[in-house]
């Protein structure tokens, strides 16, 4: 498909919101196999009222981005990792898995078909891609669906947290996001439904989002809203929590490698105790949507602990951001296999 169009969107003022783009991918699984899939202009799904995704949350999703390079070409960042994580999520809620190659090819076909929505290089905006698998078909019992839909849509986005690289504050919540052997490591919708109330309460108090502690002991940091936590120690070490109930962030995994191999820092995944956050001189939230969002301060038990500054990004966080986004936008050469050209 060759589409040469342009759209009238100001990439510089984009937030993180739904925009209907021209094409989405749609594939059905039935009788043990996926069909080839099609690109369609229709943004509505017509599914059975008995769909397990509607009743029992049998679904999962991914979040990834396409980046416009300086030379005008478009690239993806580690799409095979999203494909693999989606397979893990499907396994956790007993859904049909999408083969890695089918996933990556389908993502590329959606990006190509909507290429005119990939923001201009230099604006910082990107094309956000949302793949999902949902259980569909006629059923009512609490059991895996008989049919599945794999669909991918996309939209141009700006920063997820207002201000982008300006620090924002978070508050520790008493709510739990995920149980130790629950579904926290899977990207399933139920985890996000559970986060709506804690997020709303944090926002009402003026915070960007909340910090979740581990459900078993309420002593260790797990997640920063829909992003992973990292801190930088006085010894220039990148530290990020280790837990089976955290979503294994691809951004976080990549930052560990950037810190160690490209910036010569230490990098460690380990317990991060909320009582010991003063060991960090800088802190941030990382994820596809969040990219790197500097954490100004964290409120815990009525006290705000400020890291580097509430208004200025710390030097190490800035270096990590510049290197990561440099690779994602094609300005810096990253490790082998990290970028995948779309066109």
Return the one option of ligand PLP, ligand COI, none that residue 210 interacts with (CB less than 5 to 8 A, by type).
Answer: none
Of 65, 81, 108, 187, catalytic: 187
Task: Copy the structure tokens of residue 18.
Answer: 């739904």
Of 246, 266, 254, nearest in space to 334 by CA = 254
Instruction: State in angstroms the smallest separation of the CB of 320 from ligand COI.
Output: 17
Instruction: State in angstroms the smallest separation of the CB of 227 from ligand COI.
Output: 7
Instruction: State in angstroms the smallest separation of the CB of 2 from ligand PLP.
Output: 31
**Cα–Cα distance, 165 to 317 (Å, whole number):** 9
Q: Which residues 6+ apart lie within 8 Å of 83 measured at CB?
A: 98, 100, 103, 104
Q: Is 108 marked active-site?
A: no
**Cα–Cα distance, 81 to 187 (Å, whole number):** 13
Instruction: State in angstroms the smallest separation of the CB of 30 from ligand COI.
Output: 28
Taking CB under 6 A as the binding criterion, the range among 4-12, 24-32, 119-127, 244-252 that sits at the site for ligand PLP is 244-252
Return the one option of ligand PLP, ligand COI, none that residue 282 interacts with (CB less than 5 to 8 A, by type).
Answer: none
Of 257, 247, 254, 321, nearest in space to 284 by CA = 321
Instruction: State in angstroms the smallest separation of the CB of 335 from ligand COI.
Output: 21
**223 makes contact with ligand PLP (CB under 6 A):** yes
Contact with ligand PLP (CB under 6 A): which of 249, 317, 325, 328? 249
DSSP secondary structure string for all residues of 243-311: -TTS---HHHHHHHHIIIIIS--EEEEE--BGGGGGGEEEEEEEETTTEEEEEEEEEETTEEEE-S-SS
Return the one option of ligand PLP, ligand COI, none that residue 21 interacts with (CB less than 5 to 8 A, by type).
Answer: none
Return the one option of ligand PLP, ligand COI, none that residue 250 interacts with (CB less than 5 to 8 A, by type).
Answer: ligand PLP
Return the one option of ligand COI, ligand PLP, none that residue 208 interacts with (CB less than 5 to 8 A, by type).
Answer: none
Cβ closer to ligand COI: 195 or 243? 195
**Cα–Cα distance, 22 to 155 (Å, whole number):** 9
**Cα–Cα distance, 179 to 234 (Å, whole number):** 32
DSSP secondary structure string for all residues of 91-131: HHTT-PPPPHHHHHHHHHHHHHHTGGGSPPTTS--EEEEEE
**190 makes contact with ligand PLP (CB under 6 A):** no
Q: Which residues are catalytic?
A: 187
Contact set with ligand PLP (CB under 6 A):
63, 223, 226-228, 247, 249-252, 287-288
């Amino acid at each position: 498909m060759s589409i040469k169009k342009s759209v009238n969107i100001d990439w510089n003022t984009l937030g993180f919101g739904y925009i209907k783009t021209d094409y989405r991918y749609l594939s059905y699984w039935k009788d043990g196999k996926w069909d080839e899939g099609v690109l369609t202009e229709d943004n509505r799904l017509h599914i059975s009222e008995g769909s397990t995704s509607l009743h029992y949350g049998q679904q999962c999703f991914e979040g990834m981005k396409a980046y416009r390079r300086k030379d005008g070409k478009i690239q993806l960042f580690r799409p095979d990792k999203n494909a693999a994580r989606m397979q893990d999520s499907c396994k956790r809620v007993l859904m049909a898995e999408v083969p890695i190659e089918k996933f990556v090819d389908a993502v590329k076909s959606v990006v190509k078909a909507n290429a005119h929505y990939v923001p201009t290089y230099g604006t910082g905006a990107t094309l956000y891609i949302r793949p999902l698998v949902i259980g569909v078909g006629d059923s009512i019992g609490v059991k895996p669906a008989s049919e599945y839909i794999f669909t991918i849509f996309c939209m141009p986005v700006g920063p997820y947290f207002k201000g982008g690289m300006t620090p924002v504050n978070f508050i520790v919540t008493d709510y739990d996001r995920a149980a130790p052997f629950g579904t926290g490591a899977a990207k399933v919708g139920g985890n996000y439904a559970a986060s709506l109330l804690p997020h709303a309460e944090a926002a009402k108090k003026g915070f960007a989002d909340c910090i979740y502690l581990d459900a078993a002991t309420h002593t260790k940091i797990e997640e920063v809203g829909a992003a992973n936590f990292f801190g930088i120690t006085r010894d220039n070490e990148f530290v990020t929590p280790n837990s089976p109930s955290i979503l294994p962030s691809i951004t976080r995994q990549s930052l560990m490698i950037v810190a160690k191999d490209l910036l010569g820092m230490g990098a460690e995944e380990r317990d991060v105790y909320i009582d010991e956050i003063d060991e960090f001189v800088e802190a941030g939230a990382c994820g596809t949507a969040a990219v790197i969002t500097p954490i100004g301060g964290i409120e815990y038990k009525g006290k705000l602990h400020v890291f580097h500054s509430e208004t200025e990004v710390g030097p190490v966080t800035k270096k990590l951001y510049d290197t990561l986004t440099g690779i994602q936008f094609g300005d810096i050469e990253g490790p082998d296999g990290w970028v995948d050209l779309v066109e």
